Chains A and B, each alone.
Chain A
């Protein structure tokens, strides 16, 4: 659909260009035709007049021969008749009126001869002539013939004033009014051609206007398609257009997420949530320049392209945006909401293979920012490229897999009643070529939805099976929420554990999730499938982000792991103690086992013991230990 639209747009563009050129061409041809026509008329006019001038000259000679030229004003009736008959001989269809004027003693022009037959049009001898143009006077003065185009007279085309000169003195002026007939005859022959050129030009111009109108409509509709109706900024669809037009070299890239936005929606309702989104965007716009671009990338995620500038420090810009939102007090119709944002920054997005990889790098940094407690900026450092981004990242993972550099680290989980290790959480690690240990956050996102991801899962499961076979304790394995819905993962679990139900019963699947669950029914169905294979199901990071009480209602869970954000400093935080206490109370009533994770101090440990929690995990009780390589 998008490709079709693009094709249509390209076609419109070409159509508009072609139509423009065609219109120009037809206009040029039409204009040339008109000037050629004009030239033709001029040539005909000149030829016609030249031909008549020679006749006038002959008549002038004849007049001098047959009559006393000095006595023209005193012609007898017969003499006038004879001369008019002679003059009429040089008249033809091209000349409407042919007459001779003379100037009397008072410098008034009067008719001497007139060949006109029509009684109304014929002038009386010596009738005063209203000289409305100066050609008569000029022909007298210059002794040369004069021309006048008779634009104001409907029936006449050109009037010629031809002086009859004798002894270097103008004795009279021969007047000839040329008709439009020649002109009309020519026009009648040329009109169809002129019409054709005219209509072609009009047609082309209309097509040109139409194609530009279509182009304008396309832009108008497209703009609507590309705009997010709520925030009035560009949406994700615009990204491809933007990348096509602009180079990433001219931009720094940021991915921004509104912290705990879900809570705003849950606590105040979606209308307030919308108001918050609009307010945050408006605030960001104030701090962004005209060349910068902000795009709504997801629900509360926004991509910001910051135009590069030598004087610009991208970290300062990101921090400025972050603190601007932090200081913002958003007044919605019903509440005043304070909110923070986290930003993952990729200062050099052009170094990535494509925009998707550039965004992924931002996403990694954003993920780190969130894990570090949100309301912060994390800048991608090129020096750490080998940990988080390289063009060959997938190749590196594949190589690590082939060379058995995918490892397990086991972190103990202590049962508080006996203070014995009852279980280990299996944590995935990757060893790079230099022997550095890479954490899964730095490589797993890049192979999501690939067969490599399934292969890594299989390695961890194979290793877990071997550990279980060698030891008596139980294991916890982490799975992403999406893995629970992944048919390949389910098939893998079935393949490995259908015949090892005894081992499956010693495994707890810890569900991690980074997005809100909408389809509880589907997830519950798949969780039940895992439980039927013998696995226990634990919900990780309970109390943070998306993992909340509604999950306990809709999902049939065996264990919940209370998030580290509630455990950290619990000894000093009475509110956290109360929350944990209520979670434990709920778990007890629902027969769910509770585990507290990220226990890092003695004080936290003792407080949790006082709260009578069943299981504990954290650095205070034991750090993850890397398996020994074979």
Chain B
């Protein structure tokens, strides 16, 4: 009985973890779609983002940043020069230190956070729809 219960709990946790990744992938997709205006945006990841990797059906993952509509950055290290001018979006808050990064999605204090810098959005000429307005930091 206990074994059965344990298996049930374990599978719930596993599926629970999967659900978190699926949710995260959806958030990334909503952001990418909003920023690129593409139904199936081509995505380049500076390093693997597990949620996108696992639930990638909405994306076209490309192996070169030059082919990408949007680049997800994880670190502050430089991206190839050929890719400058592309849309950069961070998966950590720290990535916002990079001038090209127009926003980031990250976990902090157990909560998911989305942040866009207004000045950078303007620089790229991107206007977000109403749903994303509350995530725009007007002072940056």
Contacts and interface: CB of A to CB of B under 8 A. Distances in A.
Given A124-B93, A202-B1, A132 B111 contact: yes
Interface stretch (A148-156, A233-241, A462-470, A559-567): A148-156
B110 A120 contact: no
A123 B110 contact: no
A593 interface: no
A528 interface: no
Contact of A121 (B1, B109, B139): B109
Contact of B138 (A96, A108, A177): A108
Interface string B117-140: 000000000000000001101110
B6 interface: no
A102 to B, nearest CB: 13
B85 interface: no
Interface in A80-114: 96-97, 99, 104, 106, 108
Contacts of B115: 127-128, 130
A127 B108 CA distance: 12
A126 interface: yes
Interface residues on A, range: 20 to 34
A126 B115 CA distance: 13
A130 B93 contact: no
Contacts of B137: 108, 128
B114 interface: yes
Nearest to B20: A154
A397 B9 CA distance: 82
A143 B138 CA distance: 26
Interface string A113-141: 00010001101101110101000000000
Nearest to A124: B93
B95 to A, nearest CB: 12
A584 B80 CA distance: 132
A138 B134 CA distance: 17
Specify which of A104, A121, A128, A130 lies most central, judged by the most chain B CB atoms within 10 Å of its CB: A128
A216 interface: no
B113 interface: yes
A116 B109 contact: yes
A156 B92 contact: no
Specify which of B1, B111, B138 lies most central, judged by the most chain A CB atoms within 10 Å of its CB: B111
Contact of B110 (A99, A128, A154, A199): A154
Given A130-B113, A153-B110, A177-B110, 19 more contacts: A97-B110, A99-B109, A106-B138, A108-B134, A108-B137, A116-B109, A123-B108, A123-B109, A124-B93, A126-B139, A127-B115, A128-B115, A128-B135, A130-B112, A130-B114, A130-B135, A132-B111, A150-B110, A156-B109
In the A-B complex, the 3 residue pairs with the closest CB atoms: A128-B137, A155-B110, A153-B110
